[in-house]
């Protein structure tokens, strides 16, 4: 059975908030990139201070890995996030009870992330999702990363190499 890490759930929640702020009726791949960029910018110690220590540590490990990969290519995550938000269209959807669904394109990206996780025998981590997002054909993601001069092919290869190494721990 495929498991999603707690850090991925946090990214998912942030992506949903981004989609809601843009009045979208579904969560699209670009919203998940926004969630990834946001999670590396937030002060985890402040947010997780009330969490059970093992959960907080699990999330911290995943976010540290994500930061180290992003830091090699995306020098200013805040600027990238703001630029991406600026190019995403604003919708007109009203908030729906129970949360937003993922768009079909997002479900495809998640399927790719799950396949990557199976190869590393781990739960689906934000780093798996990031690689799947880089490999997706999403014009907004491509435009935002090109704006900050990220070579998507090199970035993808870097993450593939990172994932080929043993993970520090496996989240449950």
Q: What DSSP assignment string belongs to 29-58?
A: HHHHHHHHHHHHHS-HHHHTTTS-HHHHHH
Model pLDDT, residue 75: 93
Query: For position 170, what pLDDT does the model report?
Result: 44
For residues 107 and 28, give the distance between their C-alpha atoms in angstroms, rounded to a whole number.
9
Strand-pair category, 26-27 with 101-102: parallel
| CATH fourth-level superfamily of 6-164 | Clp, N-terminal domain (1.10.1780.10)
pLDDT of residue 18: 94
| 140 contacts 30 by C-beta, under 8 angstroms | yes
Q: Which of 60, 49, 53, 43 is nearest to 168 (CA)?
A: 60
> Along the chain (172 residues), what's the average pLDDT of each consecutive run of 10 residues?
90 94 94 96 69 69 91 94 94 79 94 94 94 95 96 96 74 41
- Give the per-residue pLDDT at 53: 61
């Amino acid at each position: 059975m495929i498991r999603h890490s707690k850090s991925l759930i946090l990214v998912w929640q942030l992506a949903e908030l981004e989609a809601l702020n843009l009045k979208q009726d579904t969560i699209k791949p670009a919203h998940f990139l926004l969630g990834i960029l946001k999670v590396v910018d937030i002060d985890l110690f402040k947010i997780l201070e009330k969490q059970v220590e093992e959960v907080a540590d699990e999330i911290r490990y995943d976010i540290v890995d994500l930061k180290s990969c992003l830091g090699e290519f995306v020098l200013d995550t805040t600027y990238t996030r703001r630029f991406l938000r600026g190019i995403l269209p604003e919708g007109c959807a009203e908030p729906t009870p129970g949360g937003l669904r993922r768009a079909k394109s997002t479900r495809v990206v998640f399927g790719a992330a799950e396949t990557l996780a199976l190869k590393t025998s781990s739960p689906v981590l934000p780093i798996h999702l990031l690689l799947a997002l880089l490999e997706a054909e999403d014009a907004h993601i491509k435009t935002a990363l090109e704006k900050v001069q990220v070579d998507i092919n090199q970035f993808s290869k870097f993450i593939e190499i990172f994932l080929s190494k043993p993970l520090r721990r496996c989240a449950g």
